[in-house]
Chains A and B, each alone.
Chain A
């Protein structure tokens, strides 16, 4: 099953690499966010609660997580394309492991998000961020991988349930901005109203941000970071299970 997951993941990655515009957007967009936000909100760290005076330091992990979250939540579009073109049915008539079809897709999003996180990290470091040392960098990559995998699972599940692009787009947009703003991705947690802070603890995007940013801020709490990473891992596993369940329910409708 692992081999087939890798083949199927390799297939979609290869197809993506053939789209020059996609590559340019995937590379430029996150760097653009980082440059734009870090200039737009440069003075924001004059406010208390950030724990650092370098907004780039604060923002780099956030943009990595945001990018991973977005590319994960839109992943289901690829599944709908495979559904519409009969690709999925062709796979289903082979002895290929059913799980590999879903896992290959999830892995694809996670790998893309991790590569983007590397680029963002390099850009951030160029702009003067430090984000702790190598340990902090690794946590940023791990958080990006897991948050992308989790939302990709959710997205593929919804794609398999709705089987329509319009519904898929509506859901991705519906969850996109609220989850982004119910987190301390752009702004210090102390500056967010208390009830939002509480609710944000249920938000996987917040878990990823808190884990990824842990080492950039003073008073690094590795235990707390570990807990958030563990939560993300559980989220990614639950969403992979959800996507597999949706896949079985799709098969039953055939």
Chain B
């Protein structure tokens, strides 16, 4: 059975801000699924619809078999939600936060105490269990957020941008934590991220989201394999990238060439063999390259391939 089904969900804020525009995907039970996309692509809105915070304007969504619109109570009992903006009480201790969450979820007192102790232990928070959350480091606070979401042993866990704002060390620690989590309990996890490497590492399947809908969906490896060969990125002088794209795109070894800003991205079978050919062609046409990089395909390239736009540029523009 699918733990999460999202079918043609629509959401418009105000008159014309289309946050979700036919969002569709499903997640089988026990899978870690990543919603990947730049800021403003509609990832958080999707999660907010699924955790019953936001009502969709159209379409249908179920979580753990319950319709989010018709039976929100059953959905809330089945899910854990770790919002992007933490949501723990900074003026309470870690343990108090967990206990309150358990009580709000309707757990009984002995079970609440036992489970809180268990989670504090698992997330390495025992030493700070009775300290106020405002004294926690960013990484500790985020681990408490996740623990809070797990308090009542949910069937489905929603993690909205679990590592945004963490330093690289804390992010690496969180990744290990989440990997262990995915392995241990029979838990379905939906995580949103705008870090491509995070989705690549944690998610068994990803859906790349842009402008309120899924552009492509699949296992990260398959998505990357779908882009045969390597990517050659050529940096050019201002205003020459379109001309360069025509030249590079016409070469026999190049499968695809996309101009983006002052760069041209070309997909080729073997980067090392293609670079001299590309450089010679550009030189010959009087559009010399400033710099060249060759890389194995990443989810960046998958995004570029399917949307025709650069992930980072979209991220900074907030998806507009």
Residues of chain A at the chain B interface (Cβ within 8 Å):
3-4, 7-8, 11, 14-15, 18, 85-87, 89-96, 251-252, 254
Known: A95-B77, A95-B104. A87 touches B54 (CB 8 A): no
Contacts A/B (CB < 8 Å), 18 sampled: A3-B103, A11-B100, A15-B89, A85-B90, A87-B87, A87-B89, A89-B53, A89-B83, A91-B104, A92-B52, A93-B76, A93-B79, A94-B104, A95-B73, A95-B105, A254-B48, A254-B53, A254-B54
**B91 contacts partner chain A, Cβ-Cβ < 8 Å:** yes
Q: How far is the CA of A4 from the CA of B84 in the complex (A)?
A: 25
Majority secondary structure of chain A interface residues (helix, strand, loop or mixed): helix
Residues of chain B at the chain A interface (Cβ within 8 Å):
48, 51-55, 73, 76-77, 79, 81, 83-92, 96, 100-101, 103-106, 132, 148
Q: Which residues of A contact B77 (CB under 8 A)?
A: 95
CB–CB B83/A86 < 8 A: yes
Q: How far is the CA of A166 from the CA of B293 in the complex (A)?
A: 51
Partner of B83, one of A18, A90, A96, A252: A90
Residue of B nearest to A251 (CB): B53
CB–CB A86/B87 < 8 A: yes
Q: How far is the CA of A29 from the CA of B116 in the complex (A)?
A: 39
9 tightest Cβ-Cβ pairs between the two chains A and B: A90-B87, A86-B85, A86-B87, A93-B81, A15-B91, A96-B104, A94-B104, A95-B76, A93-B51
Report A193 CB to chain B, min CB distance, Å. Answer: 46
Report A15 CB to chain B, min CB distance, Å. Answer: 4
CB–CB A94/B92 < 8 A: no
Report B17 CB to chain A, min CB distance, Å. Answer: 13
Q: Which residues of A contact B86 (CB under 8 A)?
A: 85-86
Q: How far is the CA of A55 from the CA of B254 in the complex (A)?
A: 95
Q: How far is the CA of A93 from the CA of B90 in the complex (A)?
A: 19
CB–CB B148/A94 < 8 A: no
CB–CB B91/A94 < 8 A: no
Q: Which residues of B contact A87 (CB under 8 A)?
A: 87-89
Q: Which residues of B contact A95 (CB under 8 A)?
A: 73, 76-77, 104-106
CB–CB B96/A14 < 8 A: yes
Residue of A nearest to B49 (CB): A254
Report A208 CB to chain B, min CB distance, Å. Answer: 30
CB–CB A94/B96 < 8 A: no
Q: How far is the CA of A95 from the CA of B101 in the complex (A)?
A: 10
CB–CB B76/A11 < 8 A: no
Q: Which residues of B contact A85 (CB under 8 A)?
A: 85-87, 89-90
Report B79 CB to chain A, min CB distance, Å. Answer: 7
Partner of B148, one of A3, A18, A89, A90: A90
Known: A14-B92, A85-B86. A93 touches B105 (CB 8 A): no
Report B134 CB to chain A, min CB distance, Å. Answer: 10
CB–CB B100/A89 < 8 A: no
Q: How far is the CA of A251 from the CA of B100 in the complex (A)?
A: 22
Q: How far is the CA of A36 from the CA of B181 in the complex (A)?
A: 61
Q: Which residues of A contact B101 (CB under 8 A)?
A: 90, 94
Q: Which residues of A contact B83 (CB under 8 A)?
A: 86, 89-90, 93
CB–CB A4/B103 < 8 A: yes
Known A-B contacts: A89-B85, A95-B104. Give 13 more (CB < 8 A).
A7-B100, A86-B84, A86-B87, A87-B87, A87-B88, A90-B88, A93-B53, A93-B83, A94-B101, A94-B104, A95-B73, A95-B77, A254-B54
CB–CB B53/A92 < 8 A: yes
Q: How far is the CA of A254 from the CA of B132 in the complex (A)?
A: 29
Q: Which residues of B contact A86 (CB under 8 A)?
A: 83-87
Residue of A nearest to B80 (CB): A93
